[in-house]
Homo-oligomer: A and B are copies of this chain.
Amino acid sequence: MIDIKDRVRNKALHSKIVTAEEAAAIIKSNMNVGVSGFTPSGYPKAVPLALAERMKKEKFKINLWTGASVGSELDGALSEANGIARRLPYQTNKSLRNKINNGEIQYVDLHLSHVAQMVRYGFLDKVDVAIVEACAITEEGYIIPTTSLGNTASYVQSADIVIVEINTTQPLELEGMHDVYIPMDPPNRVPIPLIKINDRIGTTYIPVDHDKITYIVPCDRPDVTRSLSEISDDDLAISSNLIDFFNSEVKHGRLPKNLLPLQSGVGSVANAVTAGIVRSQYTHLNVYTEVIQDGMFDLIDAGKLDFASGTALSPSPEGLKRFYENIDEYRNKILLRPQEISNNPGIARRLGVIAMNTAIEFDIYGNVNSSHIMGSKMMNGIGGSGDFARNGYLTIFFTKSTAKNGAISSIVPMCSHVDHTEHDTDVFITELGIADVRGLSPKERARVIIKNCVHPDYKPMLMDYLERAEKATGFAHTPNLLDEALSWHSRFLSTKSMKLNG
């Protein structure tokens, strides 16, 4: 058993060590609580569980602000205790999602790079309490984060009260893997001095006035990370199409031989894509992304990765074990940054990031829905896709051509919700092919997308829509039949299929 006093190197702070229950007691109804955590990694666990127990008895709610999704000890426990009034900026928890979609929880779905500065600007009210998972506290009283950085540093800076959970399952070797940089706010902001993926521009710790550290709580619960999604044949076909596209771009001189910094979302398609890159001829790769998963270790082991920068280290349970076992090697190739920096659109544009994200659906004119199911229900949120997509060097969206065993076409006449506009997208890839729509007008885009990306079951229906819309509008710029544009989604809601004779 590790004594957490060994990890609280500033001895004056030892007097602040309390139980999770004692710390949780400081949190009152309607407070804004900012927490560490991004994907299920680096989030506080002990205090939230204690808080959830109090909520069950005392019936009160808080506003919960995170980096992105967090583990079930936080989003699950608090939403099940009916303890969340307002939640931002991203989530993936089933219980929480249900309450977002039944009116119980107000959810604010934000670009992930925007959150910290919105807090500092005072646009979201102040952070009453920050709860932060840490590896250790330094002699100076500064916080060493764990497996994610997210919005933690800004929440700590803005909070009145800081509760630090020292997680003894997180290895001390994580120290040195973070680069904490908080930009000055306008009118005093200067260029963020990051030029190369591996540039260090900040500190390895989160600076904090230690008077603000109100409680320190021990925690021995590990990150409950997700297993890797299984890779299907369709995922492999998407990955293979991507490599073909890269090969063509390199051949035509539009990408260097080692590509440009890669950003990739999470999920089975993203896993397949990374696996495809591991198998490909590309070497000296760089990654500038949000979430670092198992594939990065594969790239390092294959000698193909120069460096990976992210804001969260979120491998599978097996991947986490592998990381811990080889931490001395992997830590030299990986840096975690605040999500304001990892996802910064200006830096994505400067570095020339290749933005690769998964769409729920896209339409024939190149608009993308990343967040909503059938126009009304929230799935997870936009996440970081908007941070990267608009300002990437190349903006690629993936999806399987159909969902629900073919009952849904992922390519529709009009998106039922738009998260990325036609002005933001370059390339669409399904298991069936690649639609490169750069420099094309909407009517041209529609034909390339229908031809290359759409499932045969839906191809004639989409061509029919396009041709009738062209005639009805006199070949307007973006021909749409307004009475029909969303009818595919309506039909699915009433017949459980987008097909005409579903």
Which residues of A pack against B, CB within 8 Å?
A: 86, 88, 100-103, 106-111, 114, 118, 121-125, 185-187, 189-193, 195, 252-254, 256, 260-261, 344-347, 349-352, 367, 372, 374-378, 382, 386, 390-391, 393, 416-424, 426, 438-441, 443-444, 469-470, 473-480, 482-483, 485-487, 489-490, 493
What residues of B have a CB within 8 angstroms of the CB of A346 in the complex?
344-347, 349-350, 391
Contact between chains at B367 and A477 (CB < 8 Å): no
> Which residue on chain B has the smallest CB distance to residue A390?
B390
What residues of B have a CB within 8 angstroms of the CB of A490 in the complex?
482-483
Interface of A is mostly: loop
Contact between chains at A376 and B103 (CB < 8 Å): no
Q: Say which residue of B103, B195, B393 sits within 8 Å of A190 (CB atoms).
A: B195
Q: A419 to B390: give the CA distance in the assembly, Å.
A: 12
What residues of B have a CB within 8 angstroms of the CB of A419 in the complex?
421, 423
What residues of B have a CB within 8 angstroms of the CB of A193 in the complex?
191
What residues of B have a CB within 8 angstroms of the CB of A125 in the complex?
439
What residues of B have a CB within 8 angstroms of the CB of A423 in the complex?
109-111, 114, 382, 386, 419
Decide yes or no: A477 and B350 within 8 Å by CB, A103-B470, A186-B393 being known contacts: no
Interchain Cβ contacts under 8 Å between A and B, 11 examples = A109-B423, A114-B423, A186-B351, A187-B256, A187-B351, A191-B192, A191-B195, A372-B478, A375-B485, A382-B421, A482-B486
Q: A148 to B418: give the CA distance in the assembly, Å.
A: 34
Q: Say which residue of B101, B109, B191, B477 sits within 8 Å of A476 (CB atoms).
A: B101
What residues of B have a CB within 8 angstroms of the CB of A253 in the complex?
122
What residues of B have a CB within 8 angstroms of the CB of A344 in the complex?
346
In the complex, given contacts A101-B474, A421-B421, what are 11 additional A-B residue pairs having Cβ atoms less than 8 angstroms apart?
A88-B439, A101-B475, A122-B253, A123-B426, A187-B261, A191-B192, A372-B477, A376-B477, A386-B421, A417-B478, A483-B486
What residues of B have a CB within 8 angstroms of the CB of A118 in the complex?
438-439
Q: Say which residue of B352, B386, B470 sits within 8 Å of A189 (CB atoms).
A: B352
Instruction: List the 5 closest pairs (A to B, CB-CB), nearest first.
Output: A186-B352, A346-B346, A103-B475, A378-B477, A191-B191
Decide yes or no: A477 and B100 within 8 Å by CB, A189-B350, A441-B106 being known contacts: yes
> Which residue on chain B has the smallest CB distance to residue A349?
B346
What residues of B have a CB within 8 angstroms of the CB of A386 in the complex?
390, 421, 423
Q: A478 to B185: give the CA distance in the assembly, Å.
A: 32
Distance in angstroms from A87 CB to nearest chain B CB is 9
Q: A102 to B471: give the CA distance in the assembly, Å.
A: 10
Contact between chains at A122 and B376 (CB < 8 Å): no
